[in-house]
Amino acid sequence: MAEAIIRVAGLGKSYRTAAGLFAALRGVDLTIARGEFVAIMGPSGSGKSTFMNLLGCLDTPTSGDYFLAGRNVAQLDRDALAALRNRTIGFVFQGFNLLPRMSLEDNVALPLVYAGQPREARRARARIELGRVGLGDYAASLPSRISGGQQQRVAIARALANSPQLILADEPTGNLDSHTSEEIMALFEALNRDGITIVLVTHEPDIATFARRQVRFRDGLIVSDLPTPSGAIA
Partner 1 sequence: MLRAMLGEAWLAMGANRMRTILTMLGMVIGVGSVVLMMAIGQGAQYAVAQTIKTMGSNLYILISGSTSTGGVRSGGGGGPTLSVADAAAIAELDGVANVAPVHQGTQQLVYGANNWSATVVGTTPPYLDARAWTVISGHPFGDSDVRSATRVALIGQTAAANLFGADDPLGKTVRIRQSPFVIIGVLGRKGQNLDGRDQDDTLIIPLSTAQRKVFGTPFAGSVRLIMVQATSAEAMPTVEASMTALLRQRHRLREGQDNDFFVRNLAAAADSAAETTRVMSVLLGAIASVSLLVGGIGIMNIMLVSVTERTREIGIRMAIGARQKDILAQFLLEALMISVAGCLLGLVLGIGGALLTNALSDMVIVISGGSVVVAFAVAAGIGVFFGYYPAHRAAALDPIEALRHQ
3-state class of 233 per DSSP? coil
Q: Please pick, from the candidates 9, 26, 33, 59, the single residue that binds partner 1 as defined by CB under 8 A.
A: 59
Site string for partner 1, 116-135 (x = CB under 8 A): x--x--x-------------
Of 95, 130, 96, which is closest to residue 112 (Cα–Cα)?
A: 130
Paired with 44 in beta bridges are: none
Of 199, 184, 168, 187, which is closest to residue 92 (Cα–Cα)?
A: 168
Task: Give whole-number Cα distances, 172 to 12, 94, 183, in Å.
Answer: 25, 4, 11
**Strands of 20-33's sheet, edge to edge?**
20-33, 4-17, 63-68, 71-72
Q: Which is nearer to partner 1, 42 or 56 (CB)?
A: 56
Site string for partner 1, 95-114 (x = CB under 8 A): --x-x-xx-------xx-xx
Q: Please pick, from the candidates 34, 87, 203, 218, the single residue that binds partner 1 as defined by CB under 8 A.
A: 87
Return the range that interacts with partner 1 (CB under 8 A); candidates 78-86, 142-150, 176-184, 202-210: 78-86
188, 210 contact by CB (below 8 A): yes
Site string for partner 1, 161-190 (x = CB under 8 A): -x----------------------------
3-state class of 185 per DSSP? helix
Q: Does 13 help bind partner 1 (rule: CB under 8 A)? A: no
Q: Please pick, from the candidates 86, 150, 209, 214, the single residue that binds partner 1 as defined by CB under 8 A.
A: 86
CA dist., res. 223 & res. 153, Å (int): 32
Q: Report the interface residues with partner 1, using CB under 8 A.
A: 53, 56, 58-59, 78-79, 82-83, 85-87, 91, 93, 97, 99, 101-102, 110-111, 113-116, 119, 122, 158, 162
